[in-house]
Structure 1
Amino acid sequence: MEPMKALSPQEYASECGARPLPALDGVRHHDVEVRGGGRGGARGRARDAVRLHVAEAGDGAGEPVVLLHGFPQHWYGWREMIPRLSGTYRLICPDQRGFGWSDAPATGYDTDSRVADVLALLDALGLDRVRLIGHDWGAWTGFHLCLRAPERVTHHLALNMVHPWPRHRRLAPQSWRFWYTALLEQPLLGRWLLRHRPGFTRCLMRKGVAAQEVWSPDVLEEFVSSGREPDRARAGEALHRAFALHDIARLALGRYRKLHLTTPTLILGGDRDFLLPPSVLAPPAEGRADDLRTEILTGCGHYAHEERPDAVARAARELFQTG
């Protein structure tokens, strides 16, 4: 299906009957209907159509860059990156299923389905190859997109996320840092926390940055309020539960060991990341990837694109010019 015409935030909210979008200069909004699949996609399972909201910026003739947000953010999480990169690239910032202004179906929050959504989006937009920036869950999706369909991604900038081959002896001692995911993944409890205890989400986001002034009150409340919507609270719970049920088991059993990353990839971490400290971002064993590097930003927590946008934009340009 062809995407809808590009709309301003006010036009989009009015035409789609959605809650108002935060305004950002130069950003256009439209919807794309995807059927989780596309080339290299959904491994034989029929999937229902999902409507994805997409925010775009930059020169439509520029090289396309897809930006995949993490939890609990949506497209607006890239508001600092958009003005820094839109002069050079065509920026495509989808709300992943269940978040922002995209559909929030009851299922499809596992990694395979999220990858299939992105592949289907690329097909719908007529994009054969893209550059990729991902944060948190978006970066995890990005790794698996590169592994499943390497011909579709030229470069991957992964922010605040470990690669699929972590050194378990380094990761295991840090497992206590994931305490909150044990709450979010519990049926009914996870969605209840996100919907009825906004202080829980605020606490996670505040703990995620090295300096509290990164979050202005309106920005923080935008993400907290979005996550409180019933369908989106359920999606947040489902996302964490799917990872616990599928990805953790695959990591523990070494199911990713036979996979090889050919996409040039840079991981940017923060030396004050409460979730993934530098020690767990060590490069994988030899033979897992052709070109995978890790750099650590000083004075930075779990939201590199929010805390150090200039450094992230510079790293993106340098990475995208390689190869």
Structure 2
Amino acid sequence: MTTESPATSDRPLPAVEGVTHRFVTVRGVRFHVAEAGAGEPVLLLHGFPQHWYAWRAVIPELARDHRVFAVDLRGCGWSDAPRDGYQGTALIEDVLALLDALGLDRVRLVGHQSGGWLGFRLCLAAPDRFSAFLAVNSSHPWPRRRFGLPLYAWRYWYTALWEYPGVGRRVLRHCPAVTRSLLRYWAGRSARVDESALEEFVQAHRPSRRARAGEQLLWQFVLHDIPALARGRYRDRRLTVPTLLLLGDRDPVVRPEPLTGAQEFTEALTVRVVPGGHLLPEQAPGVVAAAAREHFGRP
């Protein structure tokens, strides 16, 4: 386990005022961590196909009274992209090892999209490491049964373009228009899109090893997480970390209807719907930061 200074990477790191960068090696993988602010620690987990820069407008807001850590997960952004280790349990072990390496015993947690799903699994696996959790544009492990997984899963049709072994990596690498179109689709037809940021996320997964990593991240979800949901594996698991789930009312992927009523399985979860699409950290960073600050301030 070593902590290192930033080194030359595939692409230059985008500049965000007040943010510094470091690389931490754990579990044989070098992870990139963006850091800002001072105070109680907050860990930010991005979704796919994004990386730490998806939090660029949220970090300065939270850094006013928190010490913020935005991690590039395995295979994403400026972290290493090894050939394996993309199953959910391995990602959980990555994050917990990073907390140890950073000297963080307990943190507040924020996760967007697939980073939100990882956040739920982290809170179930190691609840003592997280004092509160804000999930954004994410499903949770206890969707309402009457909606049925097949009736809801069609909204994730786009993952088929990225996940199938041998196909997904080629789409990510050689068909950047697909990634551009999907990011715009998530934001919404009438939403303004930061074109420079969009291009950053498109280019992030075009190198061959990163395209393969993106494919593997999604394929492991198909192989393990979806069957677990279908079998109701999480229905015996109780969430104890106080959690707020923030959903966009115009999100074309994660809809509120199947995600309300989870109190049958946990009283620690509150669902709130706000204006916006599937990219709330970029579309409504002030709303996300305010929700985090309010939620983290509760006893």
The question of a shared fold, defined as TM-score above 0.5 by the shorter chain, is answered with yes
Residue 43 of structure 1 aligns with which residue? none
Unaligned residue ranges in structure 1 (runs of 5+): 6-11, 36-48
Kindly indicate whether the alpha-carbon contact (under 8 Å) linking 1:206 and 1:212 is maintained by their aligned counterparts in 2.
no
Residue 194 of structure 1 aligns with which residue? 172
Measure, in 1, the Cα distance between the counterparts of 2:47 and 2:96.
18
> What is the Cα deviation at residue 3 of structure 1?
1.8
Measure, in 2, the Cα distance between the counterparts of 1:227 and 1:281.
30
Which of these residues, 89, 104, 108, is aligned with residue 81 of structure 2?
Answer: 104
Kindly indicate whether the alpha-carbon contact (under 8 Å) linking 2:142 and 2:259 is maintained by their aligned counterparts in 1.
no
Residue 283 of structure 1 aligns with which residue? 261
Measure, in 2, the Cα distance between the counterparts of 1:281 and 1:308.
21
Residue 29 of structure 1 aligns with which residue? 21
Deviations 1:93-137 (A, max 9, x none): 110000000000111111111111000000001111000000011
Kindly indicate whether the alpha-carbon contact (under 8 Å) linking 1:150 and 1:262 is maintained by their aligned counterparts in 2.
yes
| SS of residue paired to 2:160 | helix
| SS of residue paired to 2:152 | helix
| SS of residue paired to 1:103 | coil
In the TM superposition, 1:284-323 aligns within 5 A as 284-286=262-264, 288-298=265-275, 300-323=276-299
Measure, in 2, the Cα distance between the counterparts of 1:283 and 1:87.
34
Kindly indicate whether the alpha-carbon contact (under 8 Å) linking 1:283 and 1:292 is maintained by their aligned counterparts in 2.
no
> What is the Cα deviation at residue 206 of structure 1?
0.2
TM-score (norm 2): 0.96
Measure, in 2, the Cα distance between the counterparts of 1:3 and 1:283.
43
RMSD across aligned positions (CA): 1.3
Residue 151 of structure 2 aligns with which residue? 173
Measure, in 2, the Cα distance between the counterparts of 1:2 and 1:198.
35
Corresponding position: 1:232 with 2:201: no
Deviations 1:171-216 (A, max 9, x none): 5323221112123221110000000000100011000013555422
TM-score (norm 1): 0.89
Measure, in 2, the Cα distance between the counterparts of 1:277 and 1:290.
20
Identity %: 53
In the TM superposition, 1:89-238 aligns within 5 A as 89-170=66-147, 171-210=149-188, 213-238=191-216
Deviations 1:199-235 (A, max 9, x none): 1000110000135554222111000011111111111
Kindly indicate whether the alpha-carbon contact (under 8 Å) linking 1:4 and 1:32 is maintained by their aligned counterparts in 2.
yes
Range with greater deviation from structure 2 (195-204 or 169-178): 169-178
Kindly indicate whether the alpha-carbon contact (under 8 Å) linking 1:52 and 1:95 is maintained by their aligned counterparts in 2.
yes
Distance 1:285 1:319, change over 3 A: closer
Measure, in 1, the Cα distance between the counterparts of 2:261 and 2:138.
12
Measure, in 1, the Cα distance between the counterparts of 2:261 and 2:139.
9
> What is the Cα deviation at residue 280 of structure 1?
2.2
Deviations 1:128-161 (A, max 9, x none): 1000000011111100100000000000000011
Which of these residues, 56, 63, 83, is aligned with residue 79 of structure 1?
Answer: 56
| SS of residue paired to 1:144 | helix
Kindly indicate whether the alpha-carbon contact (under 8 Å) linking 1:80 and 1:305 is maintained by their aligned counterparts in 2.
yes
> What is the Cα deviation at residue 285 of structure 1?
4.8
| SS of residue paired to 1:251 | helix
Q: Match for 1:320: what amino acid? A: F
Kindly indicate whether the alpha-carbon contact (under 8 Å) linking 1:263 and 1:290 is maintained by their aligned counterparts in 2.
no
Measure, in 1, the Cα distance between the counterparts of 2:190 and 2:169.
26
Measure, in 2, the Cα distance between the counterparts of 1:26 and 1:263.
30
Which of these residues, 242, 265, 269, is aligned with residue 264 of structure 1?
Answer: 242
Deviations 1:216-258 (A, max 9, x none): 2211100001111111111111011101100111111111111
Aligned length: 298
Measure, in 2, the Cα distance between the counterparts of 1:281 and 1:125.
33
